[in-house]
């Protein structure tokens, strides 16, 4: 259902439920994804994760067969209202890790559909690499299921409120070329190549000193929407310890290599 393939500091977390449900998410697979990402975040040898759906579909959203069992109010209360409640802290959500706040970057490798909750899962990732035949869409619109895994929050932050509202309310298909143009993804590659491209990007990120990578990532996430002065203070707080841990050594390596001034040495 969920497995991890490791290539040094790059971990590819694979959701494999294609044959039965095009990688739609049921409670067991959601729990397995949460466990995989907890393991990744806690392991000092891991730097960057790639999330990939095996079989040609990233994720077709919440498993509607499971959702159909929740018509009974008691079952809905038990599995959704109570089971997936939102207390303080990053507890699991219907799609698994979409409320988790990791300390390390995650790249979505999107082939085929990433729709409804699958789109929300891709939005949770830090970067999205899409195959040219892949697509997003709020397909749950037609079934009366709202976005409850961060879609209304993260999509507007990526593409702006008006464009997000149109995509959310119409439930239409958003193909890869449009996603790239409007900022829903960061790279489009040939069909079948999303995983390889995402892993290549992950290796590029993983080769850098990681304290600074994580500090800068944390600052981007934590300062969104803050007043400028408060955001600058948060950036300083996140960065100053990383600078002490890695900056002096990095500058010494640069000086030892007799490079030119500033940050323009070959990286």
The pLDDT confidence band at residue 241, using thresholds 50, 70 and 90, is confident
Q: Rounded to the nearest 5°, which phi and psi values hold at 23?
A: 60, 25
The pLDDT confidence band at residue 83, using thresholds 50, 70 and 90, is low
Q: pLDDT at position 116, please?
A: 95
The pLDDT confidence band at residue 249, using thresholds 50, 70 and 90, is confident
**pLDDT above 70 for 91:** no
Strands (E), 172-250: 173-175, 187-189
51 bridge partner residues: 13, 108
Average pLDDT rounded to a whole number, residues 142-165? 94
Q: 178 or 22: whose pLDDT is higher?
A: 178
Lowest mean pLDDT among 21-25, 77-81, 182-186, 210-214: 77-81
User: Which position has the token pair 């702006």?
Assistant: 160
Alpha-carbon span 1 to 85, nearest angstrom: 25
CB 137 within 8 A of CB 174: yes
The pLDDT confidence band at residue 230, using thresholds 50, 70 and 90, is very high
Of all residues in the chain, what percent carry a pLDDT higher than 70?
83
Sheet of 135-137, strands arranged across: 113-115, 135-137, 173-175
**Element housing 180 (H / E):** helix 176-182
User: Which position has the token pair 């397995």?
Assistant: 32
* pLDDT digit string, tens, across residues 60-77: 987 766 666 666 677 666
Lowest mean pLDDT among 19-23, 39-43, 55-59, 195-199: 19-23
Q: Look up the pTM and report it.
A: 0.88
**pLDDT above 80 for 204:** yes
**pLDDT above 60 for 260:** no
């Amino acid at each position: 259902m969920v497995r991890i393939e490791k290539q040094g500091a790059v971990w590819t977390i694979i959701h494999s439920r294609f044959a039965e449900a095009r990688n739609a998410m049921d409670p067991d697979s959601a729990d397995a994804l949460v466990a995989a990402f907890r393991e990744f975040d806690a392991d000092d040898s891991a730097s960057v994760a790639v999330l990939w759906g095996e079989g040609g579909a990233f994720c077709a959203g919440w498993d509607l067969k499971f959702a159909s069992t929740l018509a009974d109010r008691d079952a809905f209360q038990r599995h959704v209202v109570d089971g997936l409640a939102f207390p303080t802290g990053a507890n699991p959500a219907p799609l698994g890790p979409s409320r988790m706040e990791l300390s390390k970057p995650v790249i979505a490798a999107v082939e085929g559909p990433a729709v409804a909750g699958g789109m929300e899962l891709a939005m949770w990732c830090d970067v999205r690499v899409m195959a040219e035949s892949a697509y997003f869409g709020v397909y749950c619109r037609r079934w009366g299921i709202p976005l409850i895994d961060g879609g209304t929050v993260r999509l507007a932050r990526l593409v702006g409120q008006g464009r997000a509202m149109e995509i959310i309310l119409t439930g239409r298909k958003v193909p890869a070329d449009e996603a790239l143009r409007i900022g829903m993804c960061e790279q489009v590659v040939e069909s079948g190549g999303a995983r390889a491209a995402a892993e290549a990007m992950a290796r590029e990120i993983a080769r850098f000193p990681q304290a600074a990578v994580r500090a800068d990532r944390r600052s981007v996430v934590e300062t969104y929407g803050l007043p400028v002065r408060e955001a600058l203070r948060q950036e300083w707080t996140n960065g100053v310890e990383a600078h002490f841990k890695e900056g002096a050594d990095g500058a010494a390596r640069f000086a030892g290599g007799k490079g030119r001034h500033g940050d323009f040495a070959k990286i």
